[in-house]
Chains A and B, each alone.
Chain A
Amino acid sequence: MKTWLALLLIALALPAWADRFSVPKHAAFDEECASCHLAYPPQLLDAVSWRALMENLPRHFGVDASLDDNRRLAITDFLTRHAGRGGSTTSSGKPLLRITETPWFRREHDEIAAPTWQRTAIKSPANCAACHTQAASGDFRERNIHIPKRGTP
């Protein structure tokens, strides 16, 4: 019984087993975190990672995404409340900042060959919406995947 419960809890916690995430409404998150890319579902990183990411917005993956403290703290609170489980770190023990570097992301996408990521219509694994046509609404179901051919090397 106890083990069943534990398994159930693990299943619920692992984003790898889900293909749809409800992206809860949050005015500041919607306005501030969806202007340069889609609003990544908060479930896709753990709380430690979100906190680390939110503490370094002036140097955010090569761009300045700085925010005033009020908004930054409100969004951090929102992200950590809806965060997934994970606890994965880089080889040097730092929290992962990229969804695309988490073990479950790599596992789900291990059939995609390296040159596919380079296509001009995709450009980066972080560009979820290039293949997951409904990603902006948190829908990553297989039937809504379309891998673009444009820019095939």
Chain B
Amino acid sequence: MRHSLCILAILVSAGAMAQTPRDFLTRFEKEAAAPAVAERGGRFFDATHGNDWSCSTCHTTRPTQPGRHAKTDKTIAPLAPAANAERFTSPAKVDKWFRRNCNDVVGRECSAQEKADLLAWLLTLK
């Protein structure tokens, strides 16, 4: 009984949580109150922002490829949804990594506009 309740709870929350990359793009565009510009996202991804690292330092300039953590060398699965179906499907995961990685690269959290641009660009990669 306990078990089936647990499983039910997981199923219900998974159903409510599961999202697609497009859902995230819609959310970020709505928060920014402006459409995404993919090309600007691509430039943001490859540039440094006052610190040593860019997004591409760990995720490579072609994020359909696997990356490597700049400090620990650990392999990182591709970031582009076309190459990795798990990307941009969990709000908790997406929010957590945007917070951490923008802090490390930009020294602050990324704005909704920046997140919209970045994701729009990642979605252009095939």
Contact for A38 among B74, B100, B101, CB less than 8 A: B74
Residue A26 is within 8 A (CB to CB) of chain B in the complex: no
Stretch of B65-73, B80-88, B112-120 contacting A (4+ beta carbons < 8 Å): B65-73
Q: Which of B71, B73, B104 contacts A130 (CB 8 A)?
A: B73
* Residue A54 CB within 8 A of the other chain: no
Sorting the interface of chain B by its residue count into under 10, 10 to 19, 20 to 34 or 35 or more gives: 10 to 19
CB pair B104–A64 under 8 Å, yes or no, is yes
CB distance from B117 to the nearest CB of A (A): 21
Within 8 Å CB of B100, what residues of A? Answer: 63-66
User: Which stretch, A7-15, A119-127, A137-145, touches the partner chain B?
Assistant: A119-127
Q: B74: which of A37, A62, A65, A67 is its contact (CB, 8 Å)?
A: A37
Assess whether B72 is in contact with A36, with CB atoms less than 8 Å apart. Answer: yes
- The SS class assigned to the B binding surface is helix
Q: Does B99 lie at the interface of the complex (its beta carbon under 8 Å from any beta carbon of A)? A: yes
**B72 pairs with A37, CB closer than 8 A:** yes
Verify if B103 is at the interface (C-beta below 8 Å from A): yes
- Chain B's closest residue to A58 (CB) is B103
Q: Do A37 and B104 have beta carbons less than 8 Å apart?
A: no
Check if B72 sits within 8 Å of A127, measured CB to CB. yes
CB distance B71 to A63 under 8 Å?
yes
With the chains together, A124 CA to B69 CA distance in Å? 13
**Which B residues are in CB contact (< 8 Å) with A66?**
96, 99-100
The chain B residue with its CB closest to the CB of A57 is B100
Interfacial chain A residues near B71, Cβ < 8 Å: 36, 61-63, 124
Residue from the list B74, B99, B104 in contact with A63, Cβ < 8 A: B104
| B18-50 CB contacts (< 8 Å) to partner A | none
Known contacts A63-B100, A64-B103, A64-B104; is-contact A36 B69 (Cβ 8 Å)? yes
| Bound: A41/B41 CA distance, A | 39
B10: min CB distance to chain A, Å: 12
The interface of chain B, by Cβ under 8 A from chain A, is 69, 71-74, 96, 99-101, 103-104
Q: Lowest 5 CB-CB distances: which A-B pairs, in order?
A: A64-B100, A64-B103, A37-B72, A64-B104, A63-B104
